Amino acid sequence: MCNSKLIFAFQIKMPSEVSARIDLGDVTPHNIKLLRKVNTVVFPVSYHDKFYMDVLDAGDLAKLAYYNDIVVGAVCCRVDNSSGSRKLYIMTLGCLAPYRRHGIGTKMVEHVEKIVEKDGKFTSVFLHVQINNDSAIEFYKKFGFSIVETKQQYYKRIEPADAYVLEKSLKPEHSLQNGDSSH
């Protein structure tokens, strides 16, 4: 009986946040169903099989987020060359509601930032956010994203159907590395 009281007292004094561990892991054929489940719960749109097949080939551009070894979120990106410049598009970045505000989204955005920093050739990072998703808009603004455009009727089966394009411009590394300066 004495031992159980000690264990109980120890558990009360140890807040769960102290022991919380956030990790990012690869998306594989063995865990792709977890990504699909997270996306189904988090996002108001559904993604087709092609999305998930592409994600399997994305490497570091797609990661599952783990909170104490439990999958609670994910980030999926792709390279976009359509505008004549090289941009990184965040297709999805989301976390299950009970696990929000624990640093998981921040960890995923920091992962994206490391990818573009290491590559050095991206001009910006961008994504779409439903216009009424104030918490997501504020979240991205903390990382230097700003609203650059409104896409009318972007979403097909949800209301509101409009989306903001949020973008974070990046400074091209090569212009500084080549010694370019205006003296």
Active-site amino acid positions: 89, 128
- The widest CA-to-CA distance across the chain, in whole angstroms, is 78
- Token readout for 63 is 């990661």
Cβ proximity of 71 and 23 under 8 Å? no
Q: How far is CA 25 from the centre of its chain?
A: 13
CA atoms of 88 and 79, how far apart (whole Å) = 5
Strands 87-95, 124-130: pairing is: parallel
DSSP annotation of 120 reads -
CA atoms of 11 and 3, how far apart (whole Å) = 12
Cβ proximity of 67 and 78 under 8 Å? no
